[in-house]
Chain A
Amino acid sequence: MIEINLTKRLHTAEGPMDLEFCGTIEQGEFITLFGPSGAGKTTLLRMVAGLTAPDNGTIVINDQPWFDSNRRINLSPRQRSIGMVFQDYALFPNLTVAENISLALPKENRRTIVSELLEVAGLQELAARKPDKLSGGQRQRVALARALALKPTILLLDEPLSALDLQMRIKLQDELLRLHQRYQPTTLLVSHDLSEVFRLSRRVFVLDKGQVIRSGSPTAVFSQSKISNKFRFTGEVVHIKPSGVVYIVHVLVGQDIVQVIASEQETTNLNVGKRVLIASKAFNPLIMPLDE
């Protein structure tokens, strides 16, 4: 169990901002931190990793304090059981894929762990390559395999998929889920991609201006009305055009454009660029804006 209770004053372009976070995370849970850029998501992740010191509060992991401002405890990142995937992966450019993964491992079981991870991440063919000869998706996999090598208690992912195209992103989301099921690390993912939040996590904390404004399951958090959905997709409105007495709303869901019919009243709170949830009940699809 992970108990986090932190505050930190951040100095942003819009002046000082107080980052506050208080939450409990169960062992093996997959949590996302969602919010606009500058909300404090990455700083929160860095504080759990020990790369940034909080001003006040505690981080307690399985009853072991990693940080406690009152008792002046602050373990260095080296003493914390963490695996971190950075936004730009931070692979060591002078080392091969296999060396990147094995660098932190003790000599005795280095070979077994590395070959297992290479196989699980589908990287065997690339083991001897240097990072600059890899594609974005391949680099991301190496970073993930490296972060998992020491079997960390907490896996921290800082927008690991944001630099990839949609197709690769979806593929790697599946892979991430598979790896999470296999190794069961408690995972904290920073994301500002709504579909990623829905696909990957059971629980989401929405941060805005340093505060948690909502938390819970993605569906509960992002759609106000609780409907018994049969199907649901999240997407983005790309076009609204009137057609007789109704409106046709074009919604980008994944890479597909879906056309949904909406009444004039329904379109009043829709505009191009708005994130929406399309849910289908027994007969007709409903379309409604998502609260972000």
Chain B
Amino acid sequence: MNPDFTQTMVLTFQVAGITTMILLVLGIPLSYWLAYTGNRSKAIVETLVSMPLVLPPTVLGFYLLVLFSPVNPVGGFLDTWFNLRLVFSFEGIIVGSVLFSLPFMVHPLQSGFGSIPPNLREAAATLGISRLKTLFTILLPNMKPGILAGCVLSFAHTVGEFGVVLMVGGNIPGVTRMASIAIYDRVEALDYATAHQYAFVLFTITFSILLLVYMVNRRCARMELT
């Protein structure tokens, strides 16, 4: 198989895997807060989290590009102090993907937290069990379908990402060229055979992942019924 093809596919799944892991770590505290807070700023945070659902990816990509450019204060600060350049780099597309897939992780987790009967948390409180222990021993184990949905949706969404990655990362083979960009790149070069290769693999993998989630969720639901 074409080494470029393999390299691009590996990179795509690397980005998706790392993004999903970062999102899970960020998404749990964020969605916990959103699910249980009575704070007035909740509406604003919820809006910001949901923005990527409706915002053209190029808008987010454009602002990230401007923000992270080394000639600007934020990008310059990261460059001088951490030697971290987020434009046209692997780290950059990770940051972009995390922001862009945030709602796909936060929404399923938030509804997972919301689906847990409030008196389970209250019972834990009357037993003097700390919030952190309640989260890990009671809340998270009882919302596995939500966690699974969040991870899978974030993963699949990152695999299929185009606009943000193209804006922030460009099209550097082995560094920022993800599969969806490679398809565009190949079509422009009129190399339909390779484009089809990418497209078909993405289609099959995405389909299988989603099918798996639905099957697992159905089994979970059936187990709860019996």
Binds B, one of A17-25, A66-74, A90-98, A235-243: A90-98
B214 CB to nearest A CB, Å = 22
CA distance A78 to B128 in the complex (A): 4
- A163 beta carbon closer than 8 Å to chain B: no
- A86 beta carbon closer than 8 Å to chain B: yes
B contact residues around A103 at 8 Å (CB): 124, 127, 129, 137
- B58 beta carbon closer than 8 Å to chain A: no
Of A50, A76, A80, A90, the residue contacting B123 (CB under 8 A) is A90
A180 CB to nearest B CB, Å = 18
Q: Are A94 and B119 in contact (CB under 8 A)?
A: no
Of A50, A51, A80, A92, the residue contacting B120 (CB under 8 A) is A92
- B3 beta carbon closer than 8 Å to chain A: no
Q: How would residues 154 to 178 of chain A score, 1 for a CB under 8 Å from any chain B CB and 0 otherwise? A: 0010000000000000000000000
B contact residues around A149 at 8 Å (CB): 127
8 Å CB interface, B90-135 against A: 117, 119-120, 122-130
- B78 beta carbon closer than 8 Å to chain A: no
Q: Are B119 and A77 in contact (CB under 8 A)?
A: no
CA distance A90 to B142 in the complex (A): 13
- The residue on B at minimum CB distance from A49 is B126
- A120 beta carbon closer than 8 Å to chain B: no
A194 CB to nearest B CB, Å = 26
A contact residues around B126 at 8 Å (CB): 49-51, 77, 80, 82-84, 147, 156
A143 CB to nearest B CB, Å = 8
A95 CB to nearest B CB, Å = 7
- A104 beta carbon closer than 8 Å to chain B: yes
- A88 beta carbon closer than 8 Å to chain B: yes
Q: Are B130 and A78 in contact (CB under 8 A)?
A: yes
Number of residues of chain A lying within 8 A (CB) of chain B: 27
B147 CB to nearest A CB, Å = 13
8 Å CB interface, B133-185 against A: 137-138, 141-142
CA distance A51 to B142 in the complex (A): 22
A contact residues around B128 at 8 Å (CB): 77-79, 104, 150
Q: Are B142 and A93 in contact (CB under 8 A)?
A: yes
- The residue on B at minimum CB distance from A82 is B126
Q: Are B129 and A77 in contact (CB under 8 A)?
A: no
- A146 beta carbon closer than 8 Å to chain B: yes
A36 CB to nearest B CB, Å = 22
Q: How would residues 25 to 52 of chain A score, 1 for a CB under 8 Å from any chain B CB and 0 otherwise? A: 0000000000000000000000001110
Q: Are A95 and B137 in contact (CB under 8 A)?
A: yes
8 Å CB interface, B44-61 against A: none
B contact residues around A95 at 8 Å (CB): 137-138
Q: B-contacting residues of A (Cβ < 8 Å)?
A: 49-51, 76-80, 82-84, 86, 88, 90-95, 103-104, 132, 146-147, 149-150, 156
* Interchain residue pairs A-B with the least CB separation, the first 6: A104-B127, A90-B123, A77-B125, A90-B119, A94-B141, A84-B126
Q: List 12 A–B pairs whose Cβ atoms lie within 8 Å, in order of A's numbering.
A: A51-B122, A51-B125, A76-B125, A77-B126, A82-B126, A88-B117, A94-B141, A103-B127, A103-B129, A104-B127, A104-B129, A147-B126
Known contacts A83-B127, A150-B128, A156-B126; can you find 12 more A-B pairs with CB under 8 A?
A49-B126, A76-B125, A77-B126, A79-B128, A80-B126, A86-B119, A90-B120, A91-B123, A92-B123, A104-B128, A104-B129, A150-B127
